[in-house]
Structure 1
Amino acid sequence: MADKISKEARSKNMSAIRSKGTQLEDRVSKELWRRGYRFRKNVKALFGKPDIAIKKFKVVIFLDSCFWHGCDIHYRIPKSNYDYWFNKIERNRARDKEVTLYYQQHGWAVIRIWDHEVKEDFDTVVNRIEQAIQARRLDVRDHNHDHKP
């Protein structure tokens, strides 16, 4: 099925979509920073370029858009160019699974947050992230104490 808008208009729309510095990412990261957590954003050196990474505690946070990551609740495949979008989102989902598995196998905590979760209950999402970081902080502290003479 043909696209309803011109190729130039579609290109302009797509180029306006940001992969980093999104409102979702900014809102979560500002609150984590306010709570005293220090991290790096969009770390290219880490596999899958996590939105937020705390290397010290081996925590990576991915803030996933319902559209681009294929949320089971909200994602609807566009009717125009169906095959393209279906394949694109399936590749994204497969990559998300690969990235999550990679970090789990390397002893990292992986936190994946859907954009609808942030919109529906921001405080619960940030508290969940904070609890995961605190648990990792304790793990690191206990691990370091185990190795001291």
Structure 2
Amino acid sequence: MVTVTSLTTTDATRARMSRQRSKDTGVEVALRRVLHGMGLRYRVHRRPLKGVRREADVVFGPAKVAVYVDGCFWHGCPVHATWPKRNAEFWKTKIEGNRTRDADTDRRMAEAGWLVVRVWEHEDAAVAAARVRDAVIARRTAG
């Protein structure tokens, strides 16, 4: 089967994109390491909401805090996003679709009483972990 993307994307690009990890990326692992060092315990790669096929990278169940680590390219980071020139319409649609799904996830989670913390891949792990820790502590003391 030939797809539209295979007609306009180079072999090198396809090979590079296929090697991109979707779980346990370096950024995720670094964040989890700092969170664990802060004494926080969590679950990884869980779906916080039943019936919603969207997996959070780090989940603090009792506090109802879900952390998503977003890649700058894949989620259209306002600081580091790049727009490929090859197959531009495909990538624009893909990235904007990811952003739309992220906003829908945030809305659904909030409606179910969850707090979503989004971390960009370019963020310093210690700074992001402090933000997550503060959110978890605030939720624990509020409830």
Matched, 1:86 2:80: no
Measure, in 1, the Cα distance between the counterparts of 2:41 and 2:8. Answer: 47
Measure, in 2, the Cα distance between the counterparts of 1:30 and 1:116. Answer: 16
Larger RCO: 1 or 2 (CA < 8 Å, sep 6+): 2
Measure, in 2, the Cα distance between the counterparts of 1:58 and 1:74. Answer: 29
Matched, 1:26 2:32: no
Structure 1's unaligned 5+ residue stretches are 141-149
How many residues are treated as equivalent by the alignment? 134
Question: Given the two structures, how large is their TM-score scaled by the length of structure 2?
Answer: 0.86
Q: How far has the Cα of 1:44 moved from its partner?
A: 4.1
Partner of 1:132: 135
Partner of 1:12: 15
Q: How far has the Cα of 1:132 moved from its partner?
A: 0.4
Question: Given the two structures, how large is their TM-score scaled by the length of structure 1?
Answer: 0.83
Measure, in 2, the Cα distance between the counterparts of 1:29 and 1:45. Answer: 17
| Cα displacement string for residues 84-121 of structure 1 (whole angstroms, at most 9, x for unaligned residues) | 00000010000000000111111111101111222xxx
Partner of 1:77: 83
Q: Give runs of ≥4 in structure 1 deviating > 4 Å.
A: none
Amino acid in structure 2 at the alignment position of 1:134: I
Partner of 1:42: 45
Measure, in 1, the Cα distance between the counterparts of 2:126 and 2:27. Answer: 13
Measure, in 2, the Cα distance between the counterparts of 1:10 and 1:79. Answer: 12
Does the 8 A contact of 2:48 with 2:59 survive in 1?
A: no
Measure, in 2, the Cα distance between the counterparts of 1:25 and 1:111. Answer: 13
Partner of 1:61: 67
Measure, in 1, the Cα distance between the counterparts of 2:122 and 2:14. Answer: 26
Structure 2's unaligned 5+ residue stretches are 1-6
More helix by share: 1
Q: How far has the Cα of 1:45 moved from its partner?
A: 6.0
Q: How far has the Cα of 1:2 moved from its partner?
A: 3.5
The percent identity for this pair of structures is 35
